[in-house]
Amino acid sequence: MENLINELKLKIIDALNLDGMTPEDIDNNAPLFGDEGLGLDSIDVLELIVLLERNYGIRLDSPSKGKEVFQSVAVMAKYVAENRTK
């Protein structure tokens, strides 16, 4: 799981153009959205949805599912591990 978490962090940094950020800057359990964690916003959800579909064959059907999956990198990794098709 640790490898997947690290892989996801790298993909998030790339997809969202977080230029200069390193995986160490992202706490596994910190919220991805809002002021407390990574500071992502609703615009970034689209990028994360595309990231999951392209890299892991996962399609999220509703925004509410995104809210659940994108709580933190750790939650995201668990969901990917359980639902990936590639």
Partner 1 sequence: MKAVSIPSGTNLTALYRELVGDYPKFFKMDTLSKLGFLLTEMLLQGTEGRFTPREDRAVLVFSRNGSLANDINYAKRMEDFPSPALFVYTLPNIVAGEISIRNKYEGETSAYVLENYDRQLIESIVREAFQDRITRDAIVAWIDCRSDSEWTAQAWIETK
Cα–Cα distance, 11 to 32 (Å, whole number): 14
What's the min distance (Å) between Cβ of 54 and partner 1? 8
Closest approach of partner 1 to the CB of residue 75, in Å:
18
Q: Is 44 in the site for partner 1 (CB under 8 A)?
A: yes
Q: What is residue 53's three-state secondary structure? A: helix
Whole-number Å distance between alpha carbons of 35 and 58: 27
Centre a 10 Å sphere on the Cβ of residue 77 and count the other Cβ atoms it contains. 20
For partner 1, the binding residues in 2-21 under the rule CB under 8 A are: 15-21
Q: Which residues contribute to the site for partner 1 (CB under 8 A)?
A: 15-21, 25, 37-40, 43-44, 46-47, 50
